[in-house]
Structure formats: structure tokens, C-alpha cells
Amino acid sequence: MRNKELLLIPGPTPVVDSIYDALAQETWGHTDPRFVAIFRHALDKTKEMLKTNGEVFIISGSGTVAMEMALVNTVAPGEKLLVISHGYFGDRFIKIGEAFGFQVDVLQSEWGKQVDAREVEEKLASASYKAVTITHADTSTGVAANLDVLIPIIKSNGALAIVDGVCATAAMEEDMSKEYGDPNYKIDVVLTGSQKAIGMPPGLAIVAFNQSALAAREKLSGVPAYYCDIYNWIPIMHDPGKYFATPPVNLIYAYDEAMKLVLEEGMENRYIRHKAYGKAVRVALSTYGMKAIAEEEVAAPTLSCILYPEGMDDVAFRAALAERGVILSGALAHLAGKAFRIGHMGNTTVEMLEKAIRIIGETMNDFGYKVNPEKAVQSLNVLV
Ligand SMILES: *Cc1c(COP(=O)(O)O)cnc(C)c1O
């Protein structure tokens, strides 16, 4: 393992050596047939991961570019977008929608809770929405959305279902072939980034459109974007030897390797592993008297936002952890200073989690708390 630190923030996540090796390969020309073959392979594997026969796009950019690409190709200025938000990243869709002149409505939950499904039903019955965004796992709160509940509500109202999988894809089920109670009730768009549950360095935006989402693009007279217009990219994704804008060659080598690891492990196994990780980390931390802000039934498998015990100095604590090689994130907005966020996704291993739980406990003891790291590690191990 080349990594010297445990990067347990909610992305970027730990990168394994085979992915670093892929990144460090000689840079070939972006139209070199050898590179074109790798790009094709990466696209095919993405389709396999998401079980889609639609179009997938792999472009340079962070997750936010993927969010923008999803919206700008489905909703026209003046049309209505509904945002279901469980925190900071859900709210980001409001800003993007407003930037493109959509009429944006939002249903926000209290942080740590889910938006009530009845509210979604009522809202969708009250007006005609072109699309609805769901943040599968909101990285600010560690709250997961329930697609089994939301997709049928959205689709039965005739809106497009856009799923932000930046902290979920490859770790939580996003099966675009899945019928949610009716053959027409499916996820229309999945978008993600490379640096979270896929386990790569940052730099790639990945977006998948099904046939309904592509039909929505077709109805638009044009889109207020150039780089993010999927019509500029479809020819490239069909034949990566063509040129529109230079692809990040080395990142695509790395992504191809990351997809190989994802598919070798198997999607079902990954869903099970991430569920187990999430629960185990929260149970282990609870032995230190710390609680996730999300209730366990709605807590994300991929990351947790954990409230500190009384009196903890967030900045000093995380600095002490960083000195011992454990990197955690602070919390956002009104939770800043009161909670921290820990990622447990992608290529993170049980050994890494064990080590982090132990060091968190030892550091708490240095800060004057009386906790038992051995016991915490045991409670982690029972569950993973
Ligand atoms: C990280 C994240 C984003 C933003 O991705 P960037 O790569 O930082 O642009 C969007 N949505 C969710 C759910 C995220 O976790």
C-alpha cells in the first residue's frame, strides 16, 4: 500500500496501488487505438455497473460537473425542477437549477432525517415538474435517500428521476434496469464522480442517461451549455477515437482499473460490504459515547456524520488525529465544530477502519475522555 495516511474523509477515498500504477502509465495520445480500446472498455464496464443500455459519459470534471450535465440536458429554462434535499449537496441542485433559469422548488429535511414521502407526493401532485433530483447519500449529513419509495412517486407523476450518486454509486444499489413496481418506473439519470465510492483520485465526472432522459434532451431546442451538452459527447462515447475535448487519458486508465475492481468484487457484495461498514463504524463510535446525526434506519452505508461528546475541540482533535495518520473531515454549516465526518467507502478496508477506530479512541483518551479502544474495535469486528 503506497498510502501513508488513512484518508477517511467522504472523498477522496483511499486509492489502491493498482490504481496508482494505472495512473502512472505512459500517456498515450487520446486517439491512439490502444487508448481508445481502454476507453471503450471503461464505458462498457460503467454500463455493466449501472445495468443500463442508455448512454454513459465519462468526462473531465468533478461531481459538480456531472450534476450540471444531468440538469442542463433534461430541464429547459423556465421549466420546473423539484429538489429533494437531505443536506448541503442536495441544496447544491438549487443553485445549479437557478443558474440555468429553472423554476426550482425544494423539499428539505431537518438535517439527519429524510424528507417525508407524503410531502413529495403532495408537491408532485400540485404542479407539473420536469425532473426531480435525489441525492442518494448526502455527504453533509450521512442521510441516505430511499429509492424504493421515491422512484415510484416521481415516475408515477411523469417526472424524470435524477439520482446524485457521488457518494453512493458502486456502493449503494443504483440499478438502472430495475423496475420500481412498474416497467416504466426506473431511474432516468445517475451521476457520480471518481473520488468517492469508486475509489479513484478526483477528476472524472460520470453520467448515465436512460432512453427517457435522452428523449427529454431531444425535445430541448438547445441547451445553455457547450462542454456539458451531451450531444457534443455522444459521438465520442460511441467512438472514443473521435475528438471533442481532450479526455484525461491517465485518469481513464485508472478508472478502467477501478471498474475492474468494482465488477470483480460484484455489485451485491459491495452493497453488503458497505452496509456492514457503515453500521460497524457507527456502533464502534457509539462505544465512545458518540452518535451519528442520521438515525440508523436512514444512515448512509458510505459515510457518517458523528456528533462529538460534550466539550470536544473539533480542530484540535482532528489535528491530533492527522498527526497519527488518520484524516477525518469537519462537519458543514450549523454542525461545523460539533461533529465530524468519516468516510467508509470505496477501497477502504476493515483493517483501515480498525486502525482508525483504535486511534480515534486513543486520541480521545489523550484529550481526557475515558474510552476503551479495544472494546470499540471488537464491536467493529463483530459486524464486518
Ligand atoms: C462530493 C459530492 C458532490 C460534489 O462533488 P465534487 O466532486 O466535489 O464536485 C455532489 N454530490 C454529492 C452527494 C457529493 O458527495
**How does pLDDT run across 246-288, given as a tens digit for each residue?**
999 999 999 999 999 999 999 999 999 999 999 999 999 999 9
What is the spatial distance between Cα 315 and Cα 311, in angstroms, rounded to a whole number? 12
DSSP code for 297: G
pLDDT of residue 119: 98
Q: Ligand 1 site: residues with CB under 6 angstroms?
A: 11, 62-64, 89, 135, 138-139, 164, 166-167, 193, 196
The residue ranges of the chain whose pLDDT is under 50 are none
Mutational pocket test of ligand 1: of 88, 89, 192, the residue with most ligand atoms within 8 Å of the beta carbon: 89
Q: In the chain, helix, strand, coil percent, each to 5?
A: 45, 15, 40
Mutational pocket test of ligand 1: of 13, 59, 60, 64, the residue with most ligand atoms within 8 Å of the beta carbon: 64
CA of 93 to the centre of ligand 1 (A): 11
CA of 62 to the centre of ligand 1 (A): 7
pLDDT of residue 1: 82
pLDDT of residue 69: 98
Tell the residue nearest (CA) to atom 14 of ligand 1: 166
Phi and psi at residue 9, in whole multiples of 5°? -100, 170
Residue that has been written with the C-alpha cell 407523476 in this structure: 157
pLDDT of residue 168: 98
Produce one character per residue of 153-178: b if its CB has 16 or more CB atoms within 10 Å, e if not: bbbbbebbbbbbbbbbbbbbbbbbee
The answer to whether the pTM exceeds 0.85 is yes
pLDDT of residue 334: 92
CA of 346 to the centre of ligand 1 (A): 15
Half-sphere exposure of 107 (CA within 13 A, CB side): 21
In terms of phi and psi (left: phi > 0; alpha: psi -120 to 50; beta: otherwise), the region of 101 is left
Nearest residue to 284 (alpha-carbon basis) of 361, 356, 354, 380? 380
CA of 34 to the centre of ligand 1 (A): 31
